[in-house]
A = this chain, B = another copy of it.
């Protein structure tokens, strides 16, 4: 068989696409490195040249999906008419919508700053949603906390400069407190880590009562986090909206559809 020489980045991207298809279809835990190698038609050596492990593969996939998510909200990020607070809230709202389309999406440091991807049609949205759940649902299992952190770090590396740019605009406009934008972006993203336990509980809730309690607790926590972000940025309470009332329940309902 003639060997087809491909650009390394193209090869890596194809491996990720194969992994994504398998993870979305069968789930992360039911996919082996061999499955990915077979589907991609590459050697074991070639695979390990790009990814040291299956965990590294999911990490890279989370990063790619986060990048795609950011590209999908480029209009909000680039619109010259938006002031910093409107841009930040629009950015958060757009990610919430993406999240509804692809719930539970990959874990971000918080529900609302996490990456996500959208879909063109309702049917494919439902398919993607199911796929995301299968691929990333496992990450919120207690035994996968390590993987959660790896994915988190990958998503954060994508989100930090995006968030820092919005914060820098707010500082320039004199609306946000004058603080180092990158440091503040990192703080806000790390802050979101404090929602992990509440998100995990919401994802693992089984009965209606458990779901109601988990949704209330998460929504309350998101409200507190919004208030904390208001304070860090120097805004009036209620300026940053991390969730509309009912949002958490809607995401949880979308997830089980």
A residues sitting closer than 8 Å to B (CB atoms) are 145-146, 149-150, 153, 177, 179-180, 183-184, 186-187, 189-194, 220-221, 224-225, 227-228, 231-232, 234
Contact = CB atoms under 8 A, between A and B. Distances in A.
14 contacts: A146-B146, A146-B149, A146-B150, A149-B149, A177-B231, A179-B228, A183-B221, A184-B228, A186-B194, A190-B190, A190-B193, A190-B194, A231-B232, A231-B234
A24 to B, nearest CB: 25
A182 to B, nearest CB: 10
Residue with the greatest number of chain B CB neighbours at <10 A, chosen from A153, A186, A189, A225 = A186
Contact of A225 (B146, B149, B187, B224): B187
Contacts of A191: 187, 190-191
A188 B186 CA distance: 13
Contact of A180 (B149, B189, B224): B224
Contacts of A232: 228, 231-232
Contacts of A145: 149-150, 153
Residue with the greatest number of chain B CB neighbours at <10 A, chosen from A184, A192, A194, A224 = A194
Residue with the greatest number of chain B CB neighbours at <10 A, chosen from A184, A189, A228 = A228
Contacts of A183: 194, 221, 224
A32 B182 CA distance: 40
A231 B190 CA distance: 16
Nearest to A225: B187
B224 A179 contact: yes
Contacts of A194: 183, 186-187, 189-190
Nearest to A230: B231
A186 B145 CA distance: 17
A232 B190 CA distance: 14
A94 to B, nearest CB: 24
A193 B146 CA distance: 15
A192 B183 CA distance: 11
A180 B224 CA distance: 8
